[in-house]
Amino acid sequence: MTPNRSLAVLLTVAALAVAPAMTPAMAQQVGTATAVNPTTESTPPGSGTVNLTVGANIVHKERIHTTPSGTVQLLFVDKSTLSIAPNTNILIDKYVYDPNSNSGHMLTNLTEGALRFVGGALSHQGEASITTQDAAIGIRGGTVTVVHGPNGTKVIDHFGIMTIHNGAGTVTISRPGFFVTITNWNSPPSEPQRVTAEEVAYYLKLLTSQRGQNGGVPGLTNVTIGACGIGTLPSFNCPPTPWNPTGTAESNAFQTIIQGTQRGTFTTPPRRRGR
């Protein structure tokens, strides 16, 4: 090896040795946590597990885990929201979004538990999907509850078109209030069936702050985490603006939680009495 080549190799090795590792701050930021009930944990790529708090930035490839008392609502830059029930594990597997063209794609992997997805710009482009080990669920312009456990996966269509695909076939749900079940990747999805009002109420309660919880902001009570977009319910819990990296995420989250609290407790500002 010539002296010049040896020097080049040594410089390359030295550069690699001092190059900084990828840190969570350098990872792609895709949204923010707008409501968090303890305990909810997150694991950004290349970092340790920490407790998630209101206003925290959510990054690409981040894992979210809730305990038996934990719930969380995430707001993404395309205005999609993801409400996560207790005892749930998810991975933000892929997220690419161009706000100028409203194009990109979003993929969330649900390994355990339940979640509700309210579609933003990406779902209107047909580029939002949720996967479990049993199926891939494509979402177009809609709101969906997905539940995954030892007995398989259940997909409930609240609004929009859901396409459920696995190794044994494909089924589409285009009628709100219907669901399909999938027992494993090699078994075909069931035909759509009508969901009961009791089951819808059960999952809505599961995604709602329990007595004494405040969504992560002291002084607030009974924050509704997952009511947005369900049937004829008011949409006060739907965030009006997406997260942006200007340092106002916590303020936006606070306003969203206030709206959620008003929805969950059916409170409105007092009216002045007429003369």
Q: Is residue 193 included in any domain, yes or no? A: yes
- Is residue 181 in a domain? yes
pLDDT score of 30 more than 70 = yes
- Say whether pTM exceeds 0.95: no
Give a yes or no: residue 129 inside a domain.
yes
Residue 219 domain-assigned (yes or no): yes
What CATH number is attached to the domain comprising 207? 2.60.120.1440
Domain hosting 165: range is: 24-265
For residue 19, being part of any structural domain is answered with no
Q: What percent of the chain has pLDDT over 90?
A: 37
Would you place residue 205 in the very low, low, confident or very high pLDDT band (cuts 50, 70, 90)?
confident
User: Residue 68: how many CB atoms within 10 A of its CB?
Assistant: 7
> Would you list the DSSP string of 127-173?
-EEEE-SS-EEEEEEEEEEEEEETTEEEEEEEEEEEEEEETTEEEEE
C-alpha neighbours within 13 Å on the C-beta side of residue 41? 11
Give the total number of structural domains in the chain: 1
Q: Give the model confidence (pLDDT) of 82-133 as tens digits.
A: 999 999 999 999 999 988 888 899 999 999 999 999 888 888 887 899 999 9
